[in-house]
Structure 1
Amino acid sequence: MLSRRHFLTASGAAVATGTAAQTLAATGADQDKTTPAQDIDRSTAIYVPGYYAGSAWANGKRVVEHPVLARGLKPNDEHARLLSRIGLDGSIRQAVLPVHAHDVAVSPDRSVGILCGFNSGGHVAFDPDTLDVAALGAPFKKGWNGGGHAQFLPDGQGVLLSERAPFKSLRHTIESHHGRITIREPSTMRILESYSTHGIDPHDIRLVEDGRYLVIANYGSVIEKTSGKKAVPRRVVEASITTIEVASGRLVDKQLTGAEDTELRHLAAAGRDSVFAIQALLGDEESLARQTEFDDILYEADITTSRDSPYLSAATLRFSGNGAPPAEMGNEAATKLMRHGLSIKYDAKHHQVIASYPTTHRVMVFDAAEGALLHIIDTSAMGLRYPCGVTLLPDDTHYAVTGFWENLFVFERGTHRLVRDLCLYPMFFGHSHITAA
């Protein structure tokens, strides 16, 4: 069993590295051509936590009532997510698990997976092969909720999860809104240690420098005193990127956006001083109409959000540290398409950043060194609508992108050409993020 002493010793011994890959020249993506499939590890699987398990049926039954698919549920379970394991060999395995999940993390040796609870309840550990429940992890404290994301330590002996404090209005102190990072034993979900995130509503997290530091994206928004809910647009007090030392929990850096209505949600990182973060701005139907009145194309209501709180454009940011303010990535034309920015990954091999924007059916690729836009991929033209999940495949050559409701497309890193031979067409029933292992 993993001890707190072992965890602290292993974390403190990590050594930082700082080698950067050469930046790829800015060239447009050739979307009319596809790259032939190369040799790829067919044992790789993509894990997708489906949101709307209640919309799925099998053998004439709702999957939440299916004796096999819902074997992990108990009669009094409040939440259910349809976890899909999509093998690159074409296999599909699915199960309903008792968690309000948002993202998935899988240990380096693929012995255990974590379904990360979000905004309601705790987390679930599962067997990555069978998808059976291995352990249930309660939130940090009563009234707290999962923050939606996790990262395994490099040796796989501990998993870090973001945790959110009970929602409060602004009349409380800023510190009382700060979330926690819990460090847990993966197989049991037992909490070994916890630290403050030094930010409000922590969400996405990334380990950098061989696991020595953890970089955290904090929404920064609070509820309204009168309604007890978050307003549209959000009241943002302190959207931030915070960095803590894993071994001690010491705050190393905190960078604010200064936004008053735009949350900071997801991030990727090449290091402590090279962080890329997605913002989210919610509006109403009137503000959406003003923003899209000159879009001369037929479009439907965004299926990834509710009609009364649509996503508006919000620039993706690059944080370079050293007290410098965050810089907008891409250009003005690209920013207009940055609605509901969702998944973002750093490709160290090509020193590029890949991000999805499902509302506009776009995947964008940026130069990590300067934040310049390299490619815009219109995935709807390829047959992939509402691109949400993005994950780098273990072969170091490809990455996968999944549509909100269905379909998994594979692209070649660097060229960003579609590899049609590797694409698969399963149904997920709504999701945000995916993980390859």
Structure 2
Amino acid sequence: MRGHGVTLMPAAGVGILAGMEGDTVVSFDLETLDLVAMVRPARPGWLFGGHPIPLPDGRHVAVAERAPADPATGDTGADLARLAGRVVIRDAASLAPVSDFSSYGLRPHDMQVTGDHRHLVIANYGSTVAADAVAGQPVIPHVVAPCATIVELSSGRLVDRIAGADPAVELRHLVAPSLDRIFGVTARVVPAAPGAGSERDPAAEPGLDYAPALPLKIVGRQARPLMADQADLARHGLSIAANPAADEILVTFPARHLIAVFDGATGNTRKLIRTDALGLHWPCGLALSPDGGSWYVTGYWEGIMTLRADNHALAGIAALPAWWGHSHMVVAGA
């Protein structure tokens, strides 16, 4: 299993780990970590999108599923209709499908339920396989229509589709504590260039690397790029999380050993935190503690760094265990 995103659902007594571009999602017992259920996508040939998202009732989970890869035709509307992903609502414990609706975009990945529980906001990569892709060679995705879609949770109805700020980069992760606080991170995949003068991102696929791609904030019905004056630092934004109490958004940039802190209202950069200067390289996973007092950050094959939530001061680094790689994290307790 190629796992990616994980969520904990105490009301159902399980955690859920979703495959990324894979055909497996599992649920596990929160106390013993024993396997409870393992399922495949609802449609033959489809793949899971990577993130299980708990729904407000605490007993159901939304999981994105991706249509089989197929080259774009040049007709974006037709490609969206033909290749749009689905959001499948499943029972959290058994993972049995209950209902589903369109993601209204290509290759859905991350999703968030807004704080009022009315909407599901979906990050759609907006890409598909290139027509000239060669089997066995590094694949640069063909970016067609990156977008965030806002869906009414009760009905699955599309409320809005907002195009990414840059049509050439994938929209991968987002937070949406409210509809006026939607922030996203993007990715620009390029061929690896040995000796190009910067560290290769260890989380990149073999033969590939990440070039700078600006994070964004949705303002009205438009995506506004952030960090435009510091674009070189915005290389491979990975995890993104919100602290509503402080009205701030944090993003990890592992290839730059960096965490950026954004103001929730304006999108302005409040602070840049160099994690390598604090003792942690390649920051990937990011999560706020349940009590809101601490941020936890995992490094790529490194330890866990703890930052105070009020001022982002270093509270400590735990060197072990050090067995996580590219993806994300959750925190069950402080």
TM, length-normalised to structure 1: 0.71
Given that 1:169 and 1:228 are in contact with CA atoms closer than 8 Å, whether structure 2 keeps it comes out as no
The residue aligned with 1:265 is 172
Kindly provide the amino acid, as one letter, of the partner of residue 357 in structure 1: F
Aligned-pair CA distance for 1:246: 1.1
> Gapped runs of 5+ residues in structure 2?
none
Q: Residue by residue, what CA displacement relative to the aligned partner does 1:126-146 show, whole Å, maximum 9, x if unpaired?
A: 012211100012112110111
Match of 2:188 among 264, 271, 281: 281
The residue aligned with 2:124 is 218
The residue aligned with 2:82 is 176
The residue aligned with 2:219 is 320
The residue aligned with 1:237 is 144
- What is the distance in 2 between the residues matched to 1:218 and 1:426? 33
Kindly provide the amino acid, as one letter, of the partner of residue 299 in structure 2: G
Aligned residue runs from structure 1 range 365-404, under 5 A: 365-404=261-300
Kindly provide the amino acid, as one letter, of the partner of residue 225 in structure 1: A
The structure number with the bigger radius of gyration is 1
The residue aligned with 2:46 is 144
- What is the distance in 1 between the residues matched to 2:184 and 2:133? 29
Kindly provide the amino acid, as one letter, of the partner of residue 253 in structure 1: D
Secondary structure of the residue that 1:350 maps to in structure 2? Answer: coil
Kindly provide the amino acid, as one letter, of the partner of residue 325 in structure 2: G
Q: Residue by residue, what CA displacement relative to the aligned partner does 1:102-141 show, whole Å, maximum 9, x if unpaired?
A: 0101114371000011111020010122111000121121
- What is the distance in 1 between the residues matched to 2:156 and 2:306? 38
The residue aligned with 1:81 is none
Kindly provide the amino acid, as one letter, of the partner of residue 305 in structure 2: F
Matching of residue 407 in structure 1 with residue 303 in structure 2: yes
The residue aligned with 1:432 is 327
The residue aligned with 2:93 is 187
Bigger drift between 137-146 and 252-261 goes to: 252-261
- What is the distance in 2 between the residues matched to 1:205 and 1:311? 22
Structure (1/2) with the larger strand percentage: 2
- What is the distance in 2 between the residues matched to 1:211 and 1:166? 30
Kindly provide the amino acid, as one letter, of the partner of residue 112 in structure 2: R
Aligned-pair CA distance for 1:306: 3.9
User: Post-superposition, which runs of at least 4 consecutive aligned residues in structure 1 deviate over 2 A?
Assistant: 171-174, 225-234, 258-261, 284-289, 299-302, 422-425
Given that 1:329 and 1:366 are in contact with CA atoms closer than 8 Å, whether structure 2 keeps it comes out as no
- What is the distance in 1 between the residues matched to 2:319 and 2:34? 24
Given that 2:251 and 2:261 are in contact with CA atoms closer than 8 Å, whether structure 1 keeps it comes out as yes
Number of equivalenced pairs: 327
Q: Percent identity?
A: 35
Matching of residue 310 in structure 1 with residue 209 in structure 2: yes
Secondary structure of the residue that 2:51 maps to in structure 1? Answer: strand
- What is the distance in 1 between the residues matched to 2:122 and 2:175? 10
Kindly provide the amino acid, as one letter, of the partner of residue 80 in structure 2: I
> Gapped runs of 5+ residues in structure 1?
1-98, 293-298
The residue aligned with 2:2 is 100
Matching of residue 163 in structure 1 with residue 65 in structure 2: yes
The residue aligned with 1:202 is 108
Aligned-pair CA distance for 1:307: 5.7
Given that 1:363 and 1:378 are in contact with CA atoms closer than 8 Å, whether structure 2 keeps it comes out as yes
Given that 2:165 and 2:216 are in contact with CA atoms closer than 8 Å, whether structure 1 keeps it comes out as no
Aligned residue runs from structure 1 range 291-306, under 5 A: 292=197, 300-306=199-205
- What is the distance in 1 between the residues matched to 2:121 and 2:134? 29
- What is the distance in 2 between the residues matched to 1:418 and 1:119? 35
Kindly provide the amino acid, as one letter, of the partner of residue 41 in structure 2: P
- What is the distance in 2 between the residues matched to 1:259 and 1:233? 17
Secondary structure of the residue that 2:303 maps to in structure 1? Answer: strand
- What is the distance in 1 between the residues matched to 2:114 and 2:173? 15
